[in-house]
Structure 1
Amino acid sequence: MAGAEPPVTADAESPARADAVPTTLDDEAVLLVGHGSRRERSNEQVRELAAGLEDRLGIPVDAGFIELASPSIDEAIAGLATSVSRVTVVQLSLFAASHVKADVPLAVQEARSVHPELTIHNGSHLGIHPAIIDLLEDRAAAVEAELDVDREAGDVAVVLCARGSSDPDANGDVHKLARLLHEGRAFDRVAASFIGVTEPRLAETLHRIATDRPDAVVVLPYMLGDGVLTERIREGAATFDAEYPYVDAAAGDPLGTDDRLLDVLGDRWQEARTDSVEMSCDTCTYKVELDGYEEDVGGARAMLRALTHRESHADRDDVDDEPHTHDAPAHHVAVCTNRTCAADGSATVLERLRQAARDSEACDARITRSSCLGRCGDGPMVAVSPDGVWYGDVDEADAERIVSSHLDRGRIVSDLVDVTL
């Protein structure tokens, strides 16, 4: 995209403010951010961990969600802003994929614009931590006891099965975690696998391990809770156990709400509030170009993807047994309401777009606010996804044209086009 210098989407390494490093817990709160699910039991797990973290830290800890559950991040921060002056966002994501690198930083950036009096620190994901490795070993030991096998006396293989991501950085961390679980322990081998999205899939990994004829295979779901994907992992282990009578196999429990997760969350909180968060950038598709992921390079593309995903993602665990399908409107329209565009009338453009969309019988679009789209001075800016068309210098009359032409009939308003992605 020529001429654009869009903002960095994943700001976890950058200081949230120029304030001094906090030395007191007075007037401070934590927002624990989970993914969110239509299954209330998954949301309750986040709230349970938030309560445990509050007991651990001795300061208020609220739960918020990226999508599909309430309160959202902006709602949760707005609630905390009435009683404290500093909020630390702690993320309950296992690995750093798009939610960690784009969705949460975007929500935090928007919250900083809405609450300029509030200092907001953005923390990292759970990641790879010694406490998690210890927890996984205990989960494996429980399965060994169930199968009545002893890794010291027999050949026990472990398969660490994660969800899988379109982000190679996150998938690489699954393999690293598997290796660290293997080091210093008597497992014959520990293999990384995935239940979806990427390879190797669980069934493939199990069949490959069977050729080595281990005495037992322990399958560890690398999930926070008992959901559709965890159940699929259990079913995969049971199927393998039935197909290979010479190998005992079973799946363990997910991470759950074990106190050791509070150890990790406490460390992530301390890192964030002292502006010492470190995230991988050398192999992050939001920062560098990797073979096969050229279209994922960050900046404007990454932010627009985050906006689109946040507005359209639907967790449909109870529909056709598909845990992560998408039920999106035909278009998502993002209107920059940051300072420069706001001064040029973007709030009026936003409302006129929404009104025109409501009046239209053909328009299938979600129209939302956005923070800076990186085209300051060329606004008000309006970005239409998934078409990748950005309109600049939009006024009230132009808003009606965007709806009647582009959103209703699929015809780009060419004289308004600023850039295309």
Structure 2
Amino acid sequence: MSEATAAPALDDEAILLAGHGSRRERSNEQVRELAAELEGRLGVPVDAAFLELAEPAIDDAIAGLAATVSRVTVVHLSLFAASHVKNDVPLAVAQARESNPDLTIHNGAHLGIHPALLDLLDDRAAAVEAELGVDRGTDEISVVVCARGSSDPDANADVHKLARLLYEGREFDRCEASFIGVTEPRLSETLHDVAKTRPDAVVVLPYMLGDGVLTGRIKEGAREFDGEYPYVDAAPGDPLGTDSRLLDVLGDRWQEARTGSVEMSCDTCKYKVELDGYEDDQGGARAMLRALTHQAEHADREDVADDPHVHDAPEKHVAVCTNQTCAADGAPAVLERLRQAARDSDRCDARITRSSCLGRCGEGPMAAVYPDGVWYGDLDEADAETVVSSHLDRDRIVSELVDQTL
């Protein structure tokens, strides 16, 4: 057991385990099961919440805890740090802080690469070896770790690091990283490449939390490969599931968050530094607005029963800064006037939301209109009506109110 899991219980603190959310209720139940087990391990109340596709939402769950505790620590049930960890959950936490000013909210890190997770993968590989009747001490065994795949190079790089660390110190012939979607190398490509070395067996490890759709695709890919290459025995392993070693990692992430020692991967984060090929993704304000838009897209689809994850965003999105300086200058009134004018319009197709600081303090109230990349500054209630009637209704920029364009 790690030191974090032995920490004393605190009567005024609760933990919120934040999962992604799934259309498969079984996957959501796994998050709730882990929350209950983590509560038993740490002796601190633990609730589960979801970013999308399941309830309760993160901000709603925090609001429910605010009546009973003075501190909430958000612990991420995310394997790697991509946009949900870097943008969407921090946005939800920022909104919850604004709605619950008397509540202290700590935001933790993702699961990341942890020795307990390497041990868990090692055991998953050993189970497949036993199924195939091979022994890594005498047979040549290749391992393929298959993750979801992301548009974030930082998250994808960690999959390769994970595979390398699994290889180090163990008697595998090879350990390769692959992905089931979004990026390369894809699973089928990696398996065909591994087959060229003619190992005795190939172990495919789905690096997934639950046994959902993507895990099923990984397992099916391993079985198809096994049928296509009769001279190589291949089989898939199980996902991480609710193994108790996840509690060790979650306990460590909780302790880091509540003591202010969270370490994020900022040196290789495309939202913090300019990486080749990802220049358009740089910038805190741009990343925050992307998170707001993503949040709005899912809200628009929440009543669609057949496919709630399909995006159907409004034509425009307006983010209004309601941070301290802008709020003192009348931002809440501007926000409400924008919303009212949009509701009164027959032509306006826009979602108008509050945001945290847009980085233009002293020039507000600020409002940013996307995807146009037009920022308006020093707005008042009359200006709000003009922005709606001209820009949102007729797509005509109100030049005299423009603060900057991106």
TM > 0.5: yes
How many pairs does the alignment contain?
A: 397
Question: Which of these residues, 265, 278, 287, is aligned with residue 263 of structure 2?
Answer: 278
- Where does residue 30 of structure 1 map in the other structure? 15
Structure 1 gaps of 5+ residues are 1-21
Residues 157, 187 of structure 1: 8 Å contact kept: yes
Partner of 1:42: 27
Q: 1:260 aligns with which of 211, 232, 245?
A: 245
Report the Cα distance in structure 2 between the residues aligned to 1:370 and 1:83, rounded to whole angstroms. Answer: 27
SS at match of 1:275: coil
Q: Paired residue for 1:338?
A: 323
TM-score scaled to structure 1, two decimals?
A: 0.89
Q: Secondary structure at the match of 2:352?
A: strand
Higher relative contact order (CA 8 A, sep 6+): 1
With structure 2 as the length reference, what TM-score do the two structures score? Answer: 0.92
Render the CA deviation track for 1:41-66: whole Å, top value 9, x for unaligned.
22211111111111111111111122
8 Å contact from structure 2 (residues 222, 236) kept in 1: yes
Q: Name the CA shift for 1:315/1:333 in 2 (closer, same or farther; >3 Å).
A: closer
Q: How much does 1:180 deviate? A: 0.8
For residues 243 and 361 of structure 1, do their structure 2 counterparts lie closer, same or farther at Cα, with a shift above 3 Å needed? Answer: farther
In the TM superposition, what whole-angstrom CA distance separates every residue of 1:295-338 from its partner, at most 9, and x where no partner exists?
1112211211222222224899xx9x999753322222211112
Identity %: 80
The residue that corresponds to 1:391 in the other structure is 376
The 2-side partners of 1:221 and 1:314 are apart by 30
Query: Following the alignment from structure 1 to structure 2, what is the Cα–Cα distance between the partners of residues 105 and 160?
Result: 29
CA 57–315 in structure 1, closer or farther in 2 if over 3 Å, else same: farther
Query: C-alpha root-mean-square deviation of aligned residues, in Å?
Result: 2.2
Q: 1:139 aligns with which of 124, 128, 134?
A: 124
Query: Which residue is 2:332 aligned to?
Result: 347
In 2, distance between residues paired with 1:98 and 1:245? 40
* 1:59 paired residue among 32, 39, 44: 44
Aligned to 1:303: 288
Stretch deviating more after TM superposition (126-135 or 275-284): 275-284
User: Which moved further from structure 2: 113-122 or 174-183?
Assistant: 113-122
> CA offset at residue 369 of structure 1?
1.4
Correspondence 1:292 to 2:277:
yes
Output the amino acid matched with 2:44. I
Whether 1:417 aligns to 2:405 is: no
- The answer for the alignment partner of 2:341 in structure 1 is 356
Secondary structure of 1:282's aligned partner = helix
CA contact (8 A) 2:9 2:42 kept: no
Out of 212, 218, 224, the residue aligned to residue 233 of structure 1 is 218
Post-superposition offset of 1:135: 0.9
SS of the aligned residue for 2:266 comes to coil
Q: Give the SS at the match of 1:212.
A: coil
Moved more, 326-335 or 257-266: 326-335
Cα shift readout 1:143-165 (whole Å, capped 9, x = no counterpart): 22222222222111111011111
CA contact (8 A) 1:34 1:92 kept: yes
Task: Tell me the amino acid that sits aligned with residue 82 of structure 2.
Answer: A
Q: Which of 60, 65, 68 is the aligned partner of 1:83? A: 68
* 1:151–1:278 distance in 2 versus 1, CA, 3 Å: same
Paired position in structure 2 for 1:151: 136
Q: Report the alpha carbon displacement of residue 245 of structure 1 after superposing the two structures with TM.
A: 1.4
- Which moves more between the two structures, 175-184 or 378-387? 378-387
Shift of 1:84: 0.9
* CA distance 1:332–1:40, change in 2 (3 Å): farther
Partners in 2 of 1:77 and 1:390 — Cα distance? Answer: 31
Of 268-277 and 103-112, more deviation after overlay is shown by 103-112
2:195 match: 210
Question: 2:147 touches 2:179 (CA, 8 Å); kept in 1?
Answer: yes
CA shift, 1:402, in A, is 2.4
Does the CA-based 8 Å contact 1:314-1:327 persist in structure 2?
A: no
User: Where does residue 166 of structure 1 map in the other structure?
Assistant: 151
How far 1:139 sits from its partner (Å)?
Answer: 1.2
Q: Deviations over 1:111-155 (max 9, x none)?
A: 223323222211111000111111111111222222222222211
Return the alpha-carbon distance in structure 2 between the equivalents of residues 280 and 354 of structure 1.
Answer: 37
Q: How does 1:318-329 map to 2 (within 5 A)?
A: 326-329=311-314
